[in-house]
């Protein structure tokens, strides 16, 4: 589950992978006719025929550059009260931290945690429960939050601590800020000469991708700009979880158009394993060629 992009080491750390969401609920524009047309190539890899649910990976990317050890997105976590998905609610006894250590990066070795956005399945392991308190999991890390994203969710959480964000800001973001470990940065912040943020708004107001460049090779961690391979065939389909569905669709269309038929390696948040590959053109839409 690892590879090199130039001299950047990339490893996937999977929290879960399996059927998660009904496609017609997850994508409000997806009707039965459209789904049936795609079913022959979707099943069983991308659509579980038994449950009828889309197959999702929930995962982090571990990056080692010349300068830093970086964790991108931190999954659902443990002991978090979540109403959005029963599978996420009060999850416990996972192997996530052990798997991270097995990939060569125990929690104390992480220098930076980069969050593409602040939804519950991207910030959960930011904190862990110790003696009844939420404390930063990665004690030696700085956590990077994009300024527009932080401002939006801080205001929403202050208005209602669970309604808008399922409690994720209160238990997985605010404790990091209160511990003095958060860095609030611009949407195009460059961490170093190999890693920088790239605005990709729509799914959330301050959503960012993570651009990588090393020794002439290029890659991007796309976060929830695109959730599923169906959105390559239908870039106009935004998820039910997208804050601004029209903007999300425009951002996704532009991203796919720029990436198509290039050497840019796209590292997706939720595509099934191996989750990584290249955008290709398919008529008026797009496809995804996985890096096997």
Q: What does the pLDDT look like over 141-178, one tens digit per residue?
A: 999 999 999 999 999 999 999 999 999 999 999 999 99
Q: What are the Cα distances from residue 135, in Å, to 130, 169, 262?
A: 7, 13, 42
Q: Per-residue pLDDT tens for 216-273?
A: 999 999 999 999 999 999 999 999 999 999 999 999 999 999 999 999 999 999 999 9
Q: Which residues contact 11 (CB under 8 A, 6 or more apart)?
A: 1, 2, 61, 62, 103, 104, 105
- Percent pLDDT > 70 in the chain is 100
Q: What distance in Å separates the CA atoms of residue 198 and residue 210, rounded to the nearest whole number?
A: 6
Q: What distance in Å separates the CA atoms of residue 71 and residue 240, rounded to the nearest whole number?
A: 27
> How much is the CA Rg of the chain, to the nearest whole Å?
18
Q: What are the Cα distances from residue 239, in Å, to 1, 109, 204, 246, 287?
A: 27, 35, 11, 11, 18
Q: What are the Cα distances from residue 36, in Å, to 30, 33, 42, 53, 95?
A: 10, 5, 9, 13, 36
Element housing 13 (H / E):
strand 8-21
Tell me how long the chain is.
Answer: 292
- Percent pLDDT > 90 in the chain is 96
**Among positive and negative, which fits the CA dihedral 281, 228, 111, 164?**
positive
Asked, as a colleague might, if the bond just before 97 is cis with ω within 30 of 0, I would say no
**Among positive and negative, which fits the CA dihedral 220, 221, 225, 229?**
positive
Q: What are phi and psi of 249, to 5 degrees?
A: -65, -40
Q: What are the Cα distances from residue 89, in Å, to 116, 276, 279?
A: 22, 28, 34
Q: What are phi and psi of 113, to 5 degrees?
A: -115, 120
Judged against a pLDDT cut of 90, whether residue 1 lies above it is answered with: no
Q: Which domains does the chain have, with CATH numbers?
A: 2-290 (3.60.15.10)
What pLDDT, on the 0 to 100 scale, is given for residue 101?
98
How many helices and strands, by DSSP H and E, does the chain display? 9, 15
Kindly report the average pLDDT of the chain as a whole number: 97
Q: How confident is the model at residue 189 (pLDDT cuts 50, 70, 90)?
A: very high
Q: Which residue, among 77, 205, 78, 94, has the nearest Cα to 148 in the 3D structure?
A: 205
Q: Which pTM does this prediction carry?
A: 0.96
């Amino acid at each position: 589950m690892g590879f090199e992009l130039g001299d950047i080491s990339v490893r996937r750390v999977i929290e879960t992978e399996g059927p998660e969401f009904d496609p017609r609920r997850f994508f409000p524009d997806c009707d039965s006719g459209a789904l049936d047309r795609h079913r022959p190539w979707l099943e069983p890899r991308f659509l579980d025929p038994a449950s009828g649910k889309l197959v999702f990976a929930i995962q982090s990317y571990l990056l080692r550059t010349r300068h830093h050890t970086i964790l991108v997105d931190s999954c659902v976590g443990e002991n978090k009260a979540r109403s959005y998905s029963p599978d996420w609610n009060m999850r416990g006894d996972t192997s996530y931290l052990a798997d991270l250590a097995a990939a060569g990066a125990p929690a104390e070795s992480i220098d930076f945690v980069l969050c593409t956005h602040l939804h519950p399945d991207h910030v959960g392991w930011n904190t862990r429960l110790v003696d009844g308190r939420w404390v930063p999991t990665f004690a030696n890390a700085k956590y990077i939050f994009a300024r527009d994203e932080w401002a939006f969710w801080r205001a929403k959480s202050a208005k209602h601590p669970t309604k808008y964000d399922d409690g994720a800001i209160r238990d997985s973001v605010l404790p990091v800020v209160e511990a003095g470990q958060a860095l609030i940065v611009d949407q195009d912040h460059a961490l170093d000469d190999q890693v920088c943020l790239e605005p990709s708004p729509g799914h959330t107001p301050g959503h960012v991708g993570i651009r990588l460049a090393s020794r002439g090779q290029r890659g991007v961690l796309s976060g929830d700009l695109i959730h599923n391979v169906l959105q390559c065939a239908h870039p106009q389909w935004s998820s039910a979880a997208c804050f601004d569905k029209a903007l999300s669709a425009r951002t996704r269309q532009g991203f796919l158009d720029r990436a198509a038929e290039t050497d840019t390696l796209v590292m997706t948040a939720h595509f099934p394993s191996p989750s990584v590959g290249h955008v290709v053109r398919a008529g008026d839409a797009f496809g995804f060629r996985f890096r096997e």
